Structure 1
Amino acid sequence: MQTAGSIQAQMVGRSGVVATLALCFIIALLEGVDNQSMGVAAPFVARHFGFSPAQMGLAFSIGSLGLLPGAMLGGRLADRLGRKPVLIYSVVVFGIFSIMTAHIWDANSLIFSRFMTGLGLGAAMPNLIALVSEIVPDRLRRTAVSFMYCGIPLGGAIASAIGALSVEGGQWRHVFYVGGFAPLILVPLLIFLLPESRNFLASTVQKEGRIRPAAISTVLFGERRTVLTIALWVTFFFTLSILFFLMNWLPSLLVRQGIKPAQVGVIQVLFNVGGAVGAMGFGWLMDRTRAWMVVLCTYVGIVVALVVLSQSGALGMIYLGAALAGLFLIGAQSILYGLSAVYYPIVMRGTGSGSAVAVGRFGSFFGPFAAGELLAMGFAPPLLIGAAVPLIVIALISTLVVVKRPVVKN
């Protein structure tokens, strides 16, 4: 006898695959706008309200801190309620509070609005990963996740372009309006066009209509997953620490060095366009060649990019360093999201990938916050960027541990 879940699963055809990939890509695009919006507007927000570097560092970090419980809660609820409803609620939350960021009145209102925006953004990502990885054949899972994820750097490029065109004239709120109203407009399309994961519907154990996911400890550490989970957590933490440090602080650091805001906008666009290429390219390679070679080249590339950025004074070299940093850092994050989708079984994938994303989000809090404190202590920007190199080496070693593990089939 067929269950209701199995019947619904069979109803998801090619149109469902296209709708899932397209809608998840658009959500990732809008998440990229929100991720980058604070970094784009930061120099102008600080000037408008008279915020100190320490206050801005806290504002950067509190948004990232909101991502942590959001990712863990969003992933867990995805295994209980389904990927689609949790994703829709997440989109509503980050849309509303992005708009609120445009109407802050002091440091406390800024901190609250960024925390809540981060909560919604964090809850969305595990569901995006689960939906796109479960809608395609096993051999294309990492490619599908990478396709979805390349929307994030493209969204960052859009935020940078909006910033370059508007914030110089004092209209820094525009980037938050785009990042807020667009997700809310998308919600009806998600309700009517986005199918639930067919593999989730077919694989979830149900009793009296209620889904019973495995205990969190079993998901993360059962069936010999302890080393895998810890290695994923370590590499997510350090990779996202460096990525969010650059995403949030690079514009302000460049302005401090005397680079014009319009040139900073170009640098951010290069960073994000490079990231889009890296996100798609490295994910595609992970499905078609030896994973450890892709990982090694990616993290070595990050080190090269950081060295170029920390040692460059000429504008052309800064442009190059930013493009390389986006290519390899965002490419590395795309690889990690793809990995989190292939090492946990379907019925616990939301919890497993959500925990890794949550730990990474803690890293995205730690990186900007630590940078703000070091800058307040008088550290020079080049020294700050160069100090990230040892953290990347740790992330490389941990990722190599992960890719030696066998993947789980859908």
Structure 2
Amino acid sequence: MQTITDHRHGGGRALTLAFLAAVIEGFDLQAAGVAVPKLAPAFGLTPQQIGLFFSSATFGLIFGALAGGRIADAWGRRTGLVIALVAFGVFSIATAYTASFEQLLVMRFLTGVGLGGALPNLVNIAAESTDAANRGKAVSIMYAGIPLGGAIASGVSMLGLHGGDWHMIFLVGGILPLILVPFVHFLLPPLAVVKAQVKSASGALSQVFAPGTLATTLALWLSFFLGLLVVYLLLNWMPQLLVSRGLERSEASTVQILFNIGGVLGSLVGGRMLDRARPVGPVALCFAAAAAALLMLATLPANLALMLVGGALVGGAILCVQAILYGIAPQCYPFEIRGTGVGTAVAIGRLGSIAGPLLAGALVAAGFTPSGVMVSLVPITLAAGLTTVVLLIRRRAAARPA
């Protein structure tokens, strides 16, 4: 295996390109939610069909993450990112020209495949753009682009910048990644050039599940599953919680934007905590803070100013711990299977993103109030923190000289 890394000349450029791609990814992830108020009446969609429309992209994300991780190892991170950007760009544009509900589902699923394929490549590009001591910070800077893109999409919706035209959301979401493709292809430096020793997907997966890495893989998967469960339950249910407390829909949308902006700042904090010489204590505190923020949001009175602050704090705390997980993932595997390892973890996380809204629906059906649903996330968040701390302790023990 041959590896070439030049952080001095290429690292900053690689991280900038990864950040821009993450902003576009965040915008596209929120595009469906922004478009659906106008799209649903245009197609005459029922609530069940709207749910299928949202779910189609999520299932695409799972397949995309698995494929994107493998492509990162087999063909390189740059090639993997270019393919993903082209995929979700083309299929997002195609979504704007659909004429039936069935076409809408297929195009959104394929857009999700592209979006899912981008993330393992982005995580690895960011991690490999710097030295080992700053990998957490680099990944967190990249990851901060996703909530920033989400905030931009929410702002476009709230301010009506798309002119009330749902087609425009998907067209812009498709054109942006295609514009970025030549910059990624020609400007992304060869931070890591590898002659792969692992020639097949089954060979890479066998290393991910090898006796020496199995416990690490399972702990990482559990942390990702629980973490994404919390994030997507919040994204789906926080507006309802706020409205049930007496806020107007427009006010709830403003809080959602603050949630994303808080997430940008929280992501950056998470990366710095992970890069500490002794990260276990700071990381544990981050998860405890996330649990405390959820309790606070569940009990705040119906006051817009307090809710704005609460939304920002919850977004900051929850996405802080997500950035920590994305920062840990590439550090768990050697270079030649890192893409596959990160891709499988991201895919398992996407299963959590499906489970979160389903769990919320089941709790509400069982008689839970929206506040009760928020409180139920506290033990889940703490469990994710526990598995993450175990993961850090295992890594620290493995790094000690025998």
Length-normalised TM-score, structure 1? 0.87
In the other structure, the counterpart of 1:395 is 384
Is the Cα–Cα contact under 8 Å of residues 273 and 283 in structure 2 kept in the other structure? no
Is 1:276 equivalent to 2:242 in the alignment?
no
In the other structure, the counterpart of 2:338 is 349
Is the Cα–Cα contact under 8 Å of residues 68 and 358 in structure 1 kept in the other structure? yes
Equivalent residue in structure 2 for 1:309, among 293, 297, 313: 297
Relative to structure 1, is the Cα distance of residues 29 and 374 closer, same or farther in structure 2, using a 3 angstrom cutoff? Answer: same
Is 1:145 equivalent to 2:133 in the alignment?
no
Is the Cα–Cα contact under 8 Å of residues 12 and 129 in structure 2 kept in the other structure? no
AA paired with 2:293?
A
CA drift of 1:166 comes to 1.3
Distance 1:174 1:257 in 2: 33
Is the Cα–Cα contact under 8 Å of residues 241 and 371 in structure 2 kept in the other structure? no
Distance 2:366 2:48 in 1: 10
CA drift of 1:214 comes to 7.3
Is the Cα–Cα contact under 8 Å of residues 75 and 353 in structure 1 kept in the other structure? yes
CA drift of 1:252 comes to 5.6
Distance 1:160 1:281 in 2: 23
Range 24-33 or range 387-396, more displaced: 387-396
Output aligned runs, 1:1-400, within 5 Å: 9=4, 12=6, 14-46=8-40, 49-166=43-160, 170-198=164-192, 201-202=193-194, 204-205=196-197, 211=199, 215-251=203-239, 254=242, 259-312=247-300, 313-372=302-361, 380-400=369-389
Distance 2:332 2:174 in 1: 33
Superimposed CA distance per residue, residues 274-329 of structure 1 (whole angstroms, 9 cap, x where no aligned partner): 11111111101211243222222222222222223323332223222211221011
Relative to structure 1, is the Cα distance of residues 375 and 176 closer, same or farther in structure 2, using a 3 angstrom cutoff? Answer: farther
Gaps of 5+ in 2: none
CA drift of 1:375 comes to 5.4
Relative to structure 1, is the Cα distance of residues 267 and 21 closer, same or farther in structure 2, using a 3 angstrom cutoff? Answer: same
**Secondary structure of residue in 2 paired with 1:170:** coil
Relative to structure 1, is the Cα distance of residues 168 and 84 closer, same or farther in structure 2, using a 3 angstrom cutoff? Answer: closer
Is the Cα–Cα contact under 8 Å of residues 72 and 121 in structure 2 kept in the other structure? yes
Is the Cα–Cα contact under 8 Å of residues 267 and 320 in structure 2 kept in the other structure? yes
CA drift of 1:181 comes to 1.2
Is the Cα–Cα contact under 8 Å of residues 61 and 366 in structure 1 kept in the other structure? no
Range 254-263 or range 170-179, more displaced: 254-263
Is the Cα–Cα contact under 8 Å of residues 75 and 123 in structure 1 kept in the other structure? yes
Distance 2:47 2:216 in 1: 38
Is the Cα–Cα contact under 8 Å of residues 290 and 317 in structure 2 kept in the other structure? yes
CA drift of 1:402 comes to 0.7
CA drift of 1:213 comes to 7.0
AA paired with 1:333?
Q
AA paired with 1:343?
C
Residues matched between the structures, number: 397
AA paired with 1:140?
N
Is the Cα–Cα contact under 8 Å of residues 91 and 183 in structure 1 kept in the other structure? yes
Length-normalised TM-score, structure 2? 0.89
Percent identity over paired residues: 40
Relative to structure 1, is the Cα distance of residues 183 and 351 closer, same or farther in structure 2, using a 3 angstrom cutoff? Answer: same
Range 369-378 or range 333-342, more displaced: 369-378
Relative to structure 1, is the Cα distance of residues 303 and 104 closer, same or farther in structure 2, using a 3 angstrom cutoff? Answer: farther
AA paired with 1:399?
T
Is the Cα–Cα contact under 8 Å of residues 205 and 340 in structure 2 kept in the other structure? no
AA paired with 1:39?
G
CA drift of 1:26 comes to 0.3
Relative to structure 1, is the Cα distance of residues 140 and 361 closer, same or farther in structure 2, using a 3 angstrom cutoff? Answer: same
CA drift of 1:113 comes to 2.6
CA drift of 1:149 comes to 0.8
Is the Cα–Cα contact under 8 Å of residues 26 and 148 in structure 2 kept in the other structure? yes
CA drift of 1:131 comes to 1.4
Gaps of 5+ in 1: none
Distance 1:256 1:170 in 2: 26
Range 364-373 or range 295-304, more displaced: 364-373
Is the Cα–Cα contact under 8 Å of residues 57 and 369 in structure 1 kept in the other structure? no
AA paired with 2:294?
L
Question: Aligned Cα RMSD in Å?
Answer: 2.8
Is the Cα–Cα contact under 8 Å of residues 162 and 169 in structure 2 kept in the other structure? no
**Secondary structure of residue in 2 paired with 1:145:** helix
